[in-house]
Amino acid sequence: MMKELREKLSSFPPGEFRSVYKSSLPDIAKAGLLNALKDGGFRAFHEKLILIPSFPHGIGVGVGLMAQTNVAGKILKLVIGSDAGASTNPESRKLALELQDRLVSGLGILGLGVSEPGWMGKLTNLKSTAKVLPSGEIELNFHKGFVTNGADAEGYLVVAREEEQNRFGVFFIPRNFQDLKIEEVYLDVAREATHCKITGENFKLPSHYHFIEDYTKLGADIHLSEMLSAAVLFCGAIRKIVSDLSQGSESRERFSVLGKLWDLSGLLYGKCLDISDKKDKDPNYKIEEDHPYGYEAILDECISILESIPNFDYKKEYPDLGLFCTIHPARSPVYIKNRLKQSKSWRKFGNL
């Protein structure tokens, strides 16, 4: 089925991006790349995801997949399982099941809106608000500046501050909600993953649209899960470049450089599969137990090696590779926090 997906993605003109992800969803579903949204494993997902960058339009499609699987998919699973911190309302579970079925079948897209202008990666800076009314309905005011997969989404998950409870809930907003304002956003890289801004004022939502009580307890692991898939995509992108540059006769020097890139991507991919196995075996596993795991270091080293290759401009030949520098994992507050925590163990090394 991956072969059919490659053929589908090859059918789009090189400059086309707007219709690619949504139009390819049925083929993506047939290839099994949406199985992890329901009961499929993350290892199986990542073993297929690493191949996507070798397909035309692949990195952009991969970004859409990593967001759908690790972000929206995770939240739906929590609601469906009535996990701690998720809504226990039977109507919420029914709605989440309906959304999950559409996503897994390749019929729909669900976007998550967390980031806002000026939020600096901290939930405490969010200005979007939610309030429970005497009727039980929820009044929501929000402006989200960047929703991955949002341009074609049939619904949105919005994180907003519940001021009375001093927590950050996650709320479902259907795309066809009256007066919802949607503005498409286009990046210079991986454009197939279409994004948007969404705004709503004084929205009145049914109580069962309240999916998650406090995103604070989920945010770090959801971010790290998304970055795990980004690391797999990066490995695939590097291997695609090595494959392309190894065609034809090569000098011994070029051969050595390509070997380093292949080895580095292999080391990182192996670590990603180890973590994927842990996610599959233990639903309570949190990636921060093993984070950082080398993605940041290998990303920087691979980019440095690519820049050292004579007569080769990776930014021109492979512009979508710039995505991984744009979302560089070492810039996130989660990375800094976990690196500081990890550094305490450095000082103990060798002390028996």
For the chain of 352 residues, list the mean pLDDT of each consecutive stretch of 10: 95 92 96 94 97 97 94 93 86 96 95 90 90 93 93 95 90 94 92 94 95 91 95 98 84 83 98 97 93 97 95 94 93 90 89 78
Nearest to 342 by CA among 297, 302, 283: 297
Residue 250's pLDDT is 63
- Cβ count near 79 (within 10 Å): 27
Report the run of H or E that residue 122 belongs to, with start and end: none
Following DSSP, what letter does each residue of 228-278 receive, concatenated?
A: HHHHHHHHHHHHHHHHHHTSS---HHHHHHHHHHHHHHHHHHHHHHHHHHH
Q: Which residues contact 104 (CB under 8 A, 6 or more apart)?
A: 29, 34, 35, 37, 38
Q: Are 322 and 315 in contact (CB under 8 A)?
A: yes
Query: Which two structure tokens, joined as six digits, stand for 2?
Result: 């991956």
The predicted structure's pLDDT at residue 133: 92
Give pLDDT, residue 251.
Answer: 66
Rounded CA gap, 81 and 284, in Å?
13
Tokens 């919005």 appear where? 158
Cβ count near 329 (within 10 Å): 21
Report residue 196 as tokens: 């948007």
What phi and psi values does residue 139 have, to the nearest 5 degrees? -100, 125
Question: What is the C-alpha to C-alpha distance for residues 104 and 205, in angstroms, rounded to an integer?
Answer: 26
Terminal-to-terminal C-alpha distance of the chain: 52
The C-alpha atoms of residue 342 and residue 333 are separated, in whole angstroms, by 14
Q: What's at 216, amino acid-wise?
A: T
The reported pTM is 0.94
Alpha helix segments (H runs only) across the chain:
2-10, 20-30, 42-49, 58-67, 73-80, 90-104, 216-245, 252-281, 295-308, 314-317, 322-326, 333-346
For residue 162, what pLDDT is reported? 92
> Treating both helix axes as pointing N-terminal to C-terminal, what angle do 20-30 and 58-67 enclose, rounded to 10 degrees?
70
Q: Which two tokens stand for residue 238?
A: 């590097």
